[in-house]
Chains A and B, each alone.
Chain A
Amino acid sequence: MRTLRFLLQKEFKQIFRNKSLLPLIFLMPIIQLLIIPLAADYEIKNINISIVDHDRSSFSRALISKITASGYFVLADYGNSFEDAFKQIEDNESDLILEIPVGFERNLIRENREKLFIAVNAINGTKANLGGAYLNKIIAEYNAEVRLQWTDPERFSPVPKINVASSNWFNPYMNYRFFMVPGILVFLVTMVGAYMASLNIVKEKEIGTIEQINVSPISKVNFILGKLIPFWIIGVFVFSVGLFFVARVVYGIVPLGSIGLIYGFLAIYLVALLGVGLLISTYSDTQQQSMSVAFFVMMIFLLMSGLFTPIESMPEWAQVIAYLNPVTYFIEVMRMVVLKGSEFKDIIPHFLKMIGFAIFFNTWAVWNYRKTS
């Protein structure tokens, strides 16, 4: 215990004297939390639409004003040539074309039916899909309004109507930030923790002080603990800044579930994550090597964690990777506890797996750190 105390004193002094590390520890998380959620937003807005209106009737104008009033679309062009509109798609000025045929109004009144043509630029698949879906929904609504004006649906509609009413639970306004911010909090704790831990032992290798440690009677476990505990504390600190200042003050996110539960999980998660960093450190000879490997591992951990994309839609082999990834579980737990108010009994499997990860990575790191080569 006494040895550990001396090790910790030394580590903390070194961390607080490192002029480049401190801003990284304290500023990076705040900046990341302020910037990333704004950019990582799947709600598609500002879809550029070109409308080719061959009809120019009051009905076509009503449809167009309904589309532009929706807030999702920006009218990029209004004309009467499909070729012109297509050129705009080619020039990337437009994402969607809606073609209203000649006689739209007339046919709608006389024959009670009409066809519209939608062309979608599918280079950005998500934008195209969602844009097409929004547009379809607007046209369907428009259709319903027209029917309502002309007919009495109760009496004349031969088709029985089923109304599907959906209500959004846990995030009623479908605010994407509520979904992203807890995940991004995990993201940045992971970055700060893993990078710093991966640099730590290897730094001593590079400057040669590790020899002096290896020739001393310090035990391996003590030495690794001395490296782990300071970053564990910094990880908890960074997380708290993110949770209480940025998430609460800037985004108004207050965890629905227990804060204690979140911290309990964080505590174990950090042990597992720092274990990964230390493990990389024990395998590397230079800080550059360590940084490159950490970068590679973190990239996979973060992209395969379900932070940005649902794990269920990954191919099966990728799902295996995702479920072997500690980050996945922390993001799940964060979203469950913060947004849904899940309780301890709901996340027991997550706890068990994380304890497994923590034991696995740290045992491996201690085993691989050799005082005698």
Chain B
Amino acid sequence: MPEIVIKTKQLTKKFGDFTAADSITFEVYKGEIFGFLGANGAGKTTAMRMLCGLSRPSSGEATIAGFDVYTETEKIKRNIGYMSQKFSLYEDLTILENIRFFGGIYGLSDREIEEKSQHLIGLLGLGNETKKLVGALPLGWKQKLAFSVAILHDPKIVFLDEPTGGVDPVTRRQFWDLIYEAADRGITVFVTTHYMDEAEYCNRLSMMVDGEIKALDTPSNLKKQFGVASMDEVFYELARGAKRTAD
């Protein structure tokens, strides 16, 4: 039995009368790439924000890397990386300055920051761009950089909220190479996406519809379960029943 790093039970978030995430229960294992699927407005981001300690659940239980989402949010934050839907590195800082800043606030030593910066720049092939402001980089590079910065401090889990939105297919492919590499290093990857080809890359998938998790299994089992040939069709089958309109 592999180690469980995320465990939720009946996790719920309400905004007034609106239940954004409804009794979510699932487990994620160490080193796994866990896909978190759902239509726009299904509650993926809300759920993810609760898991990251950014949003306090209304009810239910959850532990992240062994820490409680109500009482130990600061401990959770030490053990996770997060890449939001919105690009959130500092555009008015250079690549190196961003790496240095985020390395620094996670408590990396100057020597570690130096080593990691060199490694990262080599890995991403940004050798000639290090002095450039991040705002001047193309979107695909920004996203790869944001991911690399999110796992700079070797977190136990990294949460990725639609990391490849608006990115071209070649860069998406490269992005997933980075994800695999991180998973090989034992970092658990929790990722939301709208691309069904990306869903196929995940070890296991959950499908959220109207705030609830309607299906959870490996991509091949899901296809078998719904008797269809592609993840696209699984998605249609499930999302068609949604009552909420997309935002």
A: residues with CB less than 8 A from B are: 2-3, 5-7, 9-10, 13-14, 17-18, 207-209, 211-219, 371-373
B: residues with CB less than 8 A from A are: 52-56, 73-74, 77-78, 80, 82, 84, 86-93, 97, 100-102, 104-107, 133
Q: How many A-B residue pairs have CB under 8 A?
A: 78
The chain A residue with its CB closest to the CB of B98 is A10
**CA gap between A219 and B106 in the complex, in Å:** 11
Inter-chain contacts of B106 with A (CB < 8 A): 216-217
The chain A residue with its CB closest to the CB of B85 is A208
Q: Which 3 A-B pairs have the closest CB atoms?
A: A6-B104, A208-B86, A215-B82
Q: Which of A7, A9, A209, A211 has the most CB of B within 10 A?
A: A211
Inter-chain contacts of A372 with B (CB < 8 A): 53-56, 73
Contacts known (A10-B90, A217-B77, A372-B54); A211 close to B84, Cβ less than 8 A: yes
**CA gap between A7 and B74 in the complex, in Å:** 18
Minimal beta-carbon separation of B54 from chain A (angstroms): 6
Contacts known (A6-B104, A216-B77, A217-B77); A209 close to B93, Cβ less than 8 A: no
**CA gap between A212 and B52 in the complex, in Å:** 11
A sample of 12 cross-chain residue pairs with beta-carbon separation below 8 angstroms, ordered by A number, consists of A2-B104, A2-B107, A10-B90, A10-B101, A13-B93, A209-B88, A212-B102, A215-B80, A216-B105, A217-B77, A219-B74, A371-B77
Minimal beta-carbon separation of B51 from chain A (angstroms): 10
Minimal beta-carbon separation of B138 from chain A (angstroms): 18
Contact pick for A208, options B54, B56, B88, B107, CB 8 Å: B88
Inter-chain contacts of B78 with A (CB < 8 A): 217
Q: Do A207 and B97 touch (CB < 8 A)? A: no
Contacts known (A3-B104, A6-B101); A215 close to B77, Cβ less than 8 A: yes
Q: Do A371 and B73 touch (CB < 8 A)? A: yes
Q: Which of B54, B84, B105 has the most CB of A within 10 A?
A: B105
Contacts known (A3-B104, A209-B88, A216-B77); A373 close to B56, Cβ less than 8 A: yes
Minimal beta-carbon separation of A102 from chain B (angstroms): 79
Q: Do B84 and A208 touch (CB < 8 A)? A: yes
Q: Do A215 and B53 touch (CB < 8 A)? A: yes
Q: Do B54 and A211 touch (CB < 8 A)? A: yes
Minimal beta-carbon separation of B21 from chain A (angstroms): 14
**CA gap between A7 and B93 in the complex, in Å:** 13
Minimal beta-carbon separation of B150 from chain A (angstroms): 8
**CA gap between A213 and B149 in the complex, in Å:** 13
Minimal beta-carbon separation of A3 from chain B (angstroms): 5
Minimal beta-carbon separation of A276 from chain B (angstroms): 26
**CA gap between A167 and B106 in the complex, in Å:** 66
Minimal beta-carbon separation of A357 from chain B (angstroms): 30
Q: Do B91 and A216 touch (CB < 8 A)? A: no
The chain B residue with its CB closest to the CB of A3 is B105
Inter-chain contacts of A2 with B (CB < 8 A): 104, 107
**CA gap between A219 and B100 in the complex, in Å:** 18
**CA gap between A373 and B82 in the complex, in Å:** 16
**CA gap between A9 and B90 in the complex, in Å:** 13
The chain B residue with its CB closest to the CB of A214 is B54
Contact pick for B90, options A5, A14, A217, CB 8 Å: A14
Inter-chain contacts of B52 with A (CB < 8 A): 215
**CA gap between A3 and B53 in the complex, in Å:** 20
**CA gap between A6 and B92 in the complex, in Å:** 15
**CA gap between A165 and B78 in the complex, in Å:** 75
Inter-chain contacts of A217 with B (CB < 8 A): 74, 77-78, 105-107
Minimal beta-carbon separation of A221 from chain B (angstroms): 12
Minimal beta-carbon separation of B70 from chain A (angstroms): 9
Minimal beta-carbon separation of A13 from chain B (angstroms): 6
Inter-chain contacts of B56 with A (CB < 8 A): 372-373
Inter-chain contacts of A7 with B (CB < 8 A): 105
Inter-chain contacts of B84 with A (CB < 8 A): 208, 211-212
**CA gap between A18 and B78 in the complex, in Å:** 31
Q: Do B87 and A208 touch (CB < 8 A)? A: yes
The chain B residue with its CB closest to the CB of A10 is B101
Minimal beta-carbon separation of A43 from chain B (angstroms): 47
**CA gap between A211 and B74 in the complex, in Å:** 14
Q: Do B91 and A5 touch (CB < 8 A)? A: no
The chain A residue with its CB closest to the CB of B97 is A13
Q: Do B77 and A212 touch (CB < 8 A)? A: no
The chain A residue with its CB closest to the CB of B80 is A215
Q: Which of A5, A18, A371, A372 has the most CB of B within 10 A?
A: A372
Q: Do A216 and B102 touch (CB < 8 A)? A: yes
Q: Which of B80, B88, B91, B106 has the most CB of A within 10 A?
A: B88
Q: Do A215 and B101 touch (CB < 8 A)? A: no
The chain A residue with its CB closest to the CB of B74 is A217
The chain B residue with its CB closest to the CB of A226 is B105
Inter-chain contacts of A14 with B (CB < 8 A): 90, 92-93
Known: A10-B97, A372-B73, A373-B54. 12 other contacts (CB 8 A): A7-B105, A207-B86, A208-B88, A209-B89, A211-B84, A212-B89, A215-B77, A216-B106, A217-B74, A217-B106, A218-B105, A371-B53
Minimal beta-carbon separation of B206 from chain A (angstroms): 21
Q: Which of B53, B84, B91, B100 has the most CB of A within 10 A?
A: B84
Contact pick for B88, options A6, A212, A219, A371, CB 8 Å: A212
Inter-chain contacts of B133 with A (CB < 8 A): 17
**CA gap between A152 and B27 in the complex, in Å:** 111
Inter-chain contacts of A373 with B (CB < 8 A): 54-56
Q: Do B88 and A18 touch (CB < 8 A)? A: no
